[in-house]
Homo-oligomer: A and B are copies of this chain.
Amino acid sequence: MRVDATAALTASLIQRLEARDSVSAEEAAVLEVSVQDARIVQAGDDLVSDGDRPSNSSLIVSGVAARYSLLPGGSRQITALHLPGDFVDLHSFLLKTMDHGVLAISRCRVATMPHERLTEISRTHPHLMRLLWLMTLIDGSLHREWLVGLGRRSAISRLAHLLCETRVRLDCVGGVDADGFDLPVTQADLSDILGLSSVHVNRVLQELRGAGLVTWRGARVTLPDWPRLVALAEFDDRYLHLAREPR
């Protein structure tokens, strides 16, 4: 399904890049003309599937998506959560073959950039290309932080950490207001992110609610006591690399 490209598709992407370095008008223009083809992906559908060899990379314009791997036994592990402005499969530009899938957690508006344009950018706009590289490096940094969580954090602090991380990431693209933010993720999804059973996610979430650290009704999340949540999560946002500096 196609939709009109009314609003700038690259707005959130550029916001993300601008949080790390300055983007010249020319670079912004290059992105603008390279990112096209907005489409809607329904919740539960794959943006890209395991084994695909995409000829373009997908940029989330709105909605939430997740990278996931399925094990032979049927269990699922989500390895990343992607928000507006994220290039979910930028790595397929060089990796060529997808070794995991990406699915829409909520209804997503998705735009694409052809891989030939990326090759071209690598020849003509080295700095812009370094910024795109940087985005994949930050993905890696998130992966490492999740590894620390899965390996060494308790269930409750893992969940608290995810909420802290998501709040900060959403804040970058204007997804947070005074009341909190929308996170259209089920407890079953959460369990596949956190490496827990959905029953345990439910119990741990109730603990956080009981402690007055989280409210979560429908998709609406509020974090009434940020400092205590950060302390419980041992959250330190350095790994998000939010400093603006020449790259």
Contact = CB atoms under 8 A, between A and B. Distances in A.
Interface of A: 67, 69, 71-72, 75-77, 79-80, 91, 94-97, 99-100, 119, 122-123, 126-127, 129-130, 133-134, 136-141, 143-148, 150-153, 192, 194-195, 234, 238-239, 241, 243, 245, 247
Contact of A95 (B80, B141, B195): B141
A146 B147 contact: yes
A241 B53 CA distance: 13
B150 A150 contact: yes
A137 B134 contact: no
Given A71-B153, A91-B137, A238 B147 contact: no
Contact of A148 (B79, B130, B245): B79
Contacts of A67: 144
A71 B152 contact: yes
A115 B84 CA distance: 31
Most buried by B among A100, A127, A144, A241: A144
Contacts of A123: 126
**Majority DSSP secondary structure for residues of A touching B:** helix
A52 to B, nearest CB: 12
Contact of A152 (B95, B151, B195): B195
B143 A99 contact: no
A97 B140 contact: no
A118 to B, nearest CB: 9
A12 B162 CA distance: 38
A151 B150 contact: yes
21 contacts: A71-B152, A71-B153, A76-B152, A79-B143, A79-B147, A80-B144, A95-B241, A96-B247, A99-B141, A99-B241, A119-B126, A122-B127, A123-B126, A129-B129, A136-B140, A140-B143, A143-B144, A143-B147, A147-B147, A151-B194, A152-B195
